[in-house]
Chains A and B, each alone.
Chain A
Amino acid sequence: MRSGENKPIITADDLTARYGSNLIFSNVSFQVNRGEVLVIVGESGCGKSTLLRILIGLEKPSCGRVLFQGNDIVNSGEDVLHNYRQNIGVLFQSSALFSSMTLNENIALPLTEYTNLDTETINLIIQMKLGMVNLSGYGNHYPAELSGGMKKRAGIARAMALDPIVLFFDELSAGLDPVTAVELDELIIKTNEALGTTIVIVTHELESICKIADRVIMLDKTAKGIIAEGTPQELKENSADPRVRSFFLRQLPQKTAQE
């Protein structure tokens, strides 16, 4: 994390999410500070992905608001949301590259839509982005011709096309081999340090969390909200909550007498 940058860039304020009558989480409030790598963790089904979808404006919470640089993206009009989306980049779990387009076309899409740059400049930017994710030379490949890790990296290149202020990653290294996962972690660290991009990651890959996170927020299925917040080190070593300890120490939770 770049030092001295502790201003909140995104503020989640009292978010509650439901699916029908099912409460996913309630009263979730936290801040994402400029330039930090924030990791949202929790067991499967605790609402991590729902929280991410709310943060990127794909779903509306049942109540609460999300502020980006002071503007409420949940309850304001389409213009605010549109402006917000031009300032963020998202990498989905499945990479979500457009399968009918080559990597070059995928990365060119936001550039041609939101800028007036000439083709030559756009091509140069595409090559630079591909180079940043170690995919130089793969521009004319279609997503189907790439491996899982390469697709993720191409997804990152597309997400970074407009040099967004905040990058969101959903399950960054899920289903990838350890070497590729480490490569992606390195890429995240490099992007954060070199470009100062604020990064929000949803994951439960413990090794990644400990390596890349400046701060961790932990959601819990039974508590239906945030149960811990702090640096990975703090949560791992000092947390009194058995759920946090069992997560960070990879242990089964202690069974209560009733169980």
Chain B
Amino acid sequence: MENLPQQPAAYRITHQLQDAKLTVYLAGEFGIRNLAAFVGDINRLLVAEQREISGIDLDFSGITYFDSAAALAVIRVREETPDKKIKFSFVNLNEEIRDIFSVINNKGIARRPTKAIKPREGILVQIGDTCFLLGRDFINMITFVGELIYALSYTIIHPRSLRSKDVLFYMKRAGVDGLPIVGLISVLMGLIMAFMSFLQLKQIGANIYVPSLVSFAMVKELGPLMTAILVAGRSGSAFAAEIGTMVVNEEVDALKTMGFDPIRFIAVPKVLAAMLVVPLLTLYADLFGVFGGLIVGVTGLDLTFNTYIVQSMKTIKVFDVVTSLIKAAVFAALIAGIGCQRGFQVRSGAQDVGKYTTSAVVSAIFMIVVADSIFAIMLHYVR
């Protein structure tokens, strides 16, 4: 669409000085488009004539177009006349112009805002505020963990209270629906690792160790880690957004008034589903990672299918697989727990949902990495 021509609307301002009274005649169109121009003209005229006059009449009889912005502007002109002794009147207003003036609440414009905009705080206050918020966040988190553990224990003691249909639903959502992307990413990871390690190992003629490297890295670290990161992105965010929306829609309040514990009702099925399905997903990721390495091994490294599998099997111990699964379950609890906790933090509006969904993913990935570091040190000594 073409822009409208920005030509200023036509207006004419004339004046007449008689018996120390200045009459300013406004004619033509006065509106928001030529506001600056006509206000400037009127002001210049008043400044030039103000010494000799005792009164000003602003005559509206020749106006063909007038809008609320123009009305406000002429009111401002009247109020800003420097010499307050000069009597400033609007004359010859027709009904239409009177109506336009009637909608301008001059007192309202001048009223002080009921809420002051907070001035930017100093750096010390900002640091203090952030520490306070972090502290509060930490307390919230600890409270939630306590409530979640209580709810999980209750569910274990009273298994009939578990909403098993929900658990299966979220297992499908977090697990089955994630199979394609987890599989694809794992194959690619296996391919990349095999290819990169091959480039290095071929220099010393140690191609035979490529399968060991790929399977070792996949099972010990990359399988659980990549799966957890993907689940955090897919399901952690979904949990937070779902619960956040339930809070906004008063569904959580409804649960409370019906006497249900929202954590037991909403969070427990999600956490249990994630803890059950993420280890399986990790196992699947490990297999596909090894398969990715196998493709490079068989096609590029002159290894046979058999050799590759035997080499891989030699490297991986049952202990590694079991710890990988335990790690995956812990990561799952972290992802689902953080997702649910962030969801419950939503108070109102779509913005809050977005904010806490993002926070759920970022916090979950951070906690996964922290937990993985702890596992790395712990497993080193356990073994």
Instruction: Determine if chain A interacts with chain B.
Output: yes
Which of these binds chain B: A6-14, A89-97, A217-225? Answer: A89-97
The reply on A85 being an interface residue by CB < 8 A is yes
The reply on B150 being an interface residue by CB < 8 A is no
Cα of A113 to Cα of B261 in the assembled complex, Å: 12
Query: B260: which A residues are within 8 A, CB to CB?
Result: 109, 113
- Say which size band chain A's interface belongs to: 20 to 34
**Closest B residue to A113 using CB positions:** B260
Contact A96 B259 (CB under 8 A): no
Choose from A94, A99, A109 the contact partner of B258 (Cβ within 8 Å).
A109
Contact A99 B259 (CB under 8 A): no
Cα of A10 to Cα of B257 in the assembled complex, Å: 16
The reply on A195 being an interface residue by CB < 8 A is no
Query: A99: which B residues are within 8 A, CB to CB?
Result: 246, 249, 251
The reply on B196 being an interface residue by CB < 8 A is no
The size of the chain B interface, using a CB distance under 8 A, is 11
The reply on B202 being an interface residue by CB < 8 A is no
Q: Closest approach, in angstroms, between the C-beta of B42 and any C-beta of chain A?
A: 32
Contact A96 B256 (CB under 8 A): no
The reply on A64 being an interface residue by CB < 8 A is no
Query: A97: which B residues are within 8 A, CB to CB?
Result: 251, 254
Choose from B249, B253, B258 the contact partner of A110 (Cβ within 8 Å).
B258
Cα of A93 to Cα of B257 in the assembled complex, Å: 14
The reply on B96 being an interface residue by CB < 8 A is no
**Closest A residue to B251 using CB positions:** A96
**Closest A residue to B166 using CB positions:** A100
Query: A58: which B residues are within 8 A, CB to CB?
Result: 253, 256-257
Contact A57 B258 (CB under 8 A): no
Query: A93: which B residues are within 8 A, CB to CB?
Result: 250
The reply on A86 being an interface residue by CB < 8 A is yes
Contact A90 B259 (CB under 8 A): no
Q: Mark A107-119, 1 if CB is under 8 A from B, else 0.
A: 0011001100000
Cα of A146 to Cα of B223 in the assembled complex, Å: 45
The reply on A141 being an interface residue by CB < 8 A is no
Q: Name the interface residues of A106-134: CB closer than 8 Å to any CB of B.
A: 109-110, 113-114
Q: Closest approach, in angstroms, between the C-beta of A227 and any C-beta of chain B?
A: 23
Choose from A88, A98, A109 the contact partner of B257 (Cβ within 8 Å).
A88
Cα of A58 to Cα of B249 in the assembled complex, Å: 15
Q: Closest approach, in angstroms, between the C-beta of B129 and any C-beta of chain A?
A: 16
Query: B251: which A residues are within 8 A, CB to CB?
Result: 96-99
The reply on A56 being an interface residue by CB < 8 A is yes
Q: Closest approach, in angstroms, between the C-beta of A87 and any C-beta of chain B?
A: 10
Q: Mark A173-191, 1 if CB is under 8 A from B, else 0.
A: 0000000000000000000
Q: Closest approach, in angstroms, between the C-beta of A54 and any C-beta of chain B?
A: 12
Cα of A53 to Cα of B260 in the assembled complex, Å: 16
**Closest B residue to A93 using CB positions:** B250
Q: Closest approach, in angstroms, between the C-beta of A148 and any C-beta of chain B?
A: 13
Cα of A88 to Cα of B254 in the assembled complex, Å: 11
**Closest A residue to B245 using CB positions:** A99
Q: Name the interface residues of B64-79: CB closer than 8 Å to any CB of A.
A: none
Contact B259 A82 (CB under 8 A): yes
Cα of A202 to Cα of B259 in the assembled complex, Å: 21
Contact B259 A86 (CB under 8 A): yes
Cα of A188 to Cα of B249 in the assembled complex, Å: 23
Q: Closest approach, in angstroms, between the C-beta of B133 and any C-beta of chain A?
A: 16
**Closest B residue to A259 using CB positions:** B107
Q: Closest approach, in angstroms, between the C-beta of B245 and any C-beta of chain A?
A: 8
Q: Closest approach, in angstroms, between the C-beta of B167 and any C-beta of chain A?
A: 14
Query: A94: which B residues are within 8 A, CB to CB?
Result: 249-250
Q: Closest approach, in angstroms, between the C-beta of A107 and any C-beta of chain B?
A: 11
Query: B259: which A residues are within 8 A, CB to CB?
Result: 82, 85-86, 110, 113-114
Query: A86: which B residues are within 8 A, CB to CB?
Result: 259
Query: B258: which A residues are within 8 A, CB to CB?
Result: 85, 90, 109-110, 113
Q: Name the interface residues of B239-277: CB closer than 8 Å to any CB of A.
A: 246, 249-251, 253-254, 256-260
Cα of A110 to Cα of B255 in the assembled complex, Å: 9
**Closest A residue to B259 using CB positions:** A85
For the complex of A and B, the 7 pairs showing the least CB-CB separation, nearest first, are A96-B254, A85-B259, A96-B250, A92-B250, A90-B257, A96-B251, A94-B250
Q: 29 pairs across A/B with beta carbons < 8 Å?
A: A53-B253, A56-B257, A57-B257, A58-B253, A58-B256, A58-B257, A82-B259, A85-B256, A85-B257, A85-B258, A85-B259, A90-B254, A90-B257, A92-B250, A92-B253, A92-B254, A93-B250, A96-B249, A96-B253, A96-B254, A98-B251, A99-B246, A99-B251, A109-B258, A109-B260, A110-B259, A113-B258, A113-B260, A114-B259
Interface residues, chain A, with chain B CB atoms under 8 Å away: 53, 56-58, 82, 85-86, 88, 90, 92-94, 96-99, 109-110, 113-114
